[in-house]
Structure 1
Amino acid sequence: MTEMEQLLKRVMDRARNTRPWGWTSLPQPVDAATVARAEAALGFRLPPLLADLYLCIGDGGFGPEYGLLPLLDSSPAGEPAAVPQYLARRESARKDPDWPWPEGVLPISHWGCAMYACVDCHSPQATVLLFEPNADAVEQAWYVDAPSLPDWLRAWVDGTGWYEETNEELEMAPWADLHIRTATARTP
């Protein structure tokens, strides 16, 4: 079994045994056609591990805090899905250039208070970012939550994420690529 297969199994085991806030059951996984529709709507491919989470475990409903967002359709609890959330944020950024939303940065999990964990689908390692819009400026709103999606998932499974009570002192680094990734969104 490869390292990624082992991680997927660990995530699957935890997903079967814990429900994030607001979820009463683990949704069924999506099919390959749903992933293809999501990628067509987004205009880019999902990182393979992210696609596998949706294809093998469930259409959201597992993970830290409010859990992974559904891919295309809102959850029964009314949580918006990842793809429509991304498209709405990109459209909103066109109207408000002071708060650009980087191309390829897909919201995957809601933390509450309008904060989201997002995967940078254009980075080779699928960096997970924290979007914290309660800041005074966009430069203070983006942080590196985990260097990669596998690291983010391991932190959840192992109980070592910044959101755990025992780890509240952990600090995240600002996302250094923010200005590079949003420069084209700000040019006239």
Structure 2
Amino acid sequence: MDDIEQLLKQVAGRAHSSRQGRYAATGTPIAPLPAPLPAAELHRAEAALGFALPPLLAALHTRVAGGGFGPEHGLLPLERAVAEYTAMRASAWRWPEGVLPIADFGCALRACVDCRSETAQVLLFEPNSGEPDLAWFLESPTLADWLRGWLDGSAWFSEESGAGEEWDLELTPWAGFRARV
């Protein structure tokens, strides 16, 4: 089993175990994860985007679940990610081509995958300064590393890190922003 297959197995295990027997604060059971997406739905999303998803991101949606697992509120359902990408590309934010939002961290922060990078690097969109040129940061050099940070609790957004609101991120600006808008 190669590293990516092992990672998918670990993500699937955590994604499904985190839902079993859990209840929301209201006392209602937490809904099970959505089913993995059929290949046809993935192809429709890629056609709407105009680019292919990196293999690992595609596998998360087609082999683990159609969103709802992972950091914070979980991976966005692919349909919502496509809608956000389309809306942001049409907005005043000068959203970079090929950068798909994948997770919502609240307060307008989004984790995004650069679908045009060979490593599927993960970017952080942090628009609270109000300046589009200052809103993009490199969060992880690869999607695989980003997922491993969630799994092992070493990432700033992990519950296990204990960082919460006090985490002082030293963010590296994303150098590729200007070339992609």
TM class by smaller structure: 0.7 to 0.9
Aligned to 2:15: 15
CA offsets 1:3-31 (integer angstroms, 9 cap, x no match): 10000001111101225x99632111001
How many pairs does the alignment contain? Answer: 168
Deviation at 1:91, TM superposition (A): 1.4
**Inter-partner Cα distance in structure 2 for 1:41 and 1:163:** 30
Secondary structure, aligned partner of 1:171: coil
Aligned to 1:160: 154
Deviation at 1:170, TM superposition (A): 4.1
AA paired with 1:25?
P
The answer to whether 1:53 aligns with 2:40 is: no
Deviation at 1:145, TM superposition (A): 1.1
Against the structure 1 CA distance between its residues 112 and 178, is the aligned structure 2 distance closer, same or farther, given a 3 Å change threshold? same
The answer to whether 1:4 aligns with 2:27 is: no
The answer to whether 1:179 aligns with 2:181 is: no
Secondary structure, aligned partner of 2:116: coil
Q: Given that residues 25 and 61 in structure 1 are in contact (C-alpha distance below 8 angstroms), is that contact kept between their aligned partners in structure 2?
A: no
Aligned to 1:151: 145
Give the fraction of aligned pairs with identical amino acids, expressed as a percent: 54
**Inter-partner Cα distance in structure 2 for 1:139 and 1:91:** 16
Gaps of 5+ in 1: 73-80, 183-188
The farther-off stretch of 6-15 and 130-139 is 130-139
TM-score, length-normalised on structure 2?
0.88
The answer to whether 1:32 aligns with 2:39 is: yes
**Inter-partner Cα distance in structure 1 for 2:54 and 2:106:** 24
Q: Given that residues 118 and 129 in structure 1 are in contact (C-alpha distance below 8 angstroms), is that contact kept between their aligned partners in structure 2?
A: yes
Q: CA RMSD in A?
A: 1.6
Deviation at 1:58, TM superposition (A): 0.5
- Once superposed, which parts of structure 1, at least 4 consecutive aligned residues long, lie more than 6 Å away? none
AA paired with 1:131?
F
Q: Given that residues 127 and 135 in structure 2 are in contact (C-alpha distance below 8 angstroms), is that contact kept between their aligned partners in structure 1?
A: yes
CA offsets 1:115-167 (integer angstroms, 9 cap, x no match): 11000000000010010111131222111111110011000111111123435
AA paired with 2:145?
D
The farther-off stretch of 61-70 and 129-138 is 129-138
CA offsets 1:30-81 (integer angstroms, 9 cap, x no match): 0100000000000000000000000001010100001100012xxxxxxxx1
Q: Given that residues 150 and 157 in structure 2 are in contact (C-alpha distance below 8 angstroms), is that contact kept between their aligned partners in structure 1?
A: no
Gaps of 5+ in 2: none
Task: Give the counterpart of 2:50 among 19, 43, 48.
Answer: 43
Secondary structure, aligned partner of 1:134: helix
